[in-house]
Structure 1
């Protein structure tokens, strides 16, 4: 039985994935990195990279789509419709930190941030805004702070934590506790503090 020529083999899919991962890791640190350097980082040859991605723009679009997919997967894995809103928010922040380099890749550079796929992704408040509003409705998340601002602030804090780990400002094991404390201090209602 012959294999379908339109369906990539597992090895081809793995190579493609490795190239995308290498591109994201490289572009997060240096937007001017060359395709040859990305190929080296992926442990392959430039000719192999070009078989998968004929040009830089093709690799960029694939990397954007991959990053959006991983962030969507992290959102789903956090199960934010379950349990108390603050607990769900903490799970979401922790999940987003695991894909912090994807968030940085998408929003660090205006060219990428303004790509139609990113703009469409960023415009969909969806389940995160619903979670924030659920916490505001039950009084555990500050209702005086606009939900869109809370969401944007959360993205910015995850971005900052990921960058801080990358540049050595924070140790990897410190990032999540610092991030959760910062989010909590900014938006979670603390009855004793709020009543004083």
Structure 2
């Protein structure tokens, strides 16, 4: 296999995964044929990469989790304060709207799947407590509640982007503004 072949294979695999994420974020019952059409590959090509539906589900699960972890790490590295870290994490994650919906729209979808990593905190509570200690977040609100609000806002924002009711380029600004200031009118 040449480097060119390898590059084509990687692009084809990526196109299939992106198509699956886009379709399964909205309808997990979408067929492999629908995914092949969306990826602009033949069904036989899709089956060469993913011989059965579960193989594609597992590959997308792993790829989505890796994408989230990479976005999270990049957001943390680009931050200097706890509140900036929280805001950057929210922005980075909401930018992966299809992946968020694929992973979290059905809590039982990946139950029993050995590839599912359901990390509940990832150090988020510590970041929230640090933002509370610095006065950027209300210290009277439990970190678990703040985390729930954050994840809820991320999910609703991802749904809005996927539905086309919120432009992707406005998602980060919107989720951070609402997290920081609620739904009050801007002054």
Q: Distance in 2 between matches of 1:59 and 1:112?
A: 14
Q: Which residue of 2 aligns with 1:175?
A: 171
Q: Which has the higher contact order (CA 8 A, sep 6+)?
A: 2
Give the alignment's TM-score, normalised by structure 2: 0.84
- Is the Cα–Cα contact under 8 Å of residues 23 and 35 in structure 2 kept in the other structure? yes
Distance in structure 1 (CA, Å) of the matches to 2:146 and 2:30: 34
Which of these two proteins has the greater Rg computed from alpha carbons? 1
One of 132, 154, 159 as aligned partner of 1:158: 154
String of CA shifts for 1:25-73, please: whole Å, max 9, x gaps: 1101111111011011111111111111111011001001111011111
Does the alignment pair 1:90 with 2:87?
Answer: yes
- Give the distance between the partners of 1:169 and 1:17, measured in 2 at CA: 26
Return the alpha-carbon distance in structure 1 between the equivalents of residues 95 and 79 of structure 2: 20
More helix by share: 1
Residue ranges of structure 1 left out of the alignment (5+ in a row): 187-196
Q: What is the aligned partner in structure 2 of residue 192 from structure 1?
A: none
Which runs of structure 1 show a deviation greater than 6 angstroms over 4 or more consecutive aligned residues?
A: none
Residue of structure 1 aligned with 2:143, choices 142, 147, 151: 147
Structure 2: stretches of 5+ with no match in the other structure: 183-187
Q: Evaluate the alpha carbon distance shift between residue 113 and residue 88 of structure 1 in structure 2; reply closer, same or farther with a 3 A threshold.
A: same
1:133 aligned onto 2:166: no
Residues matched between the structures, number: 179
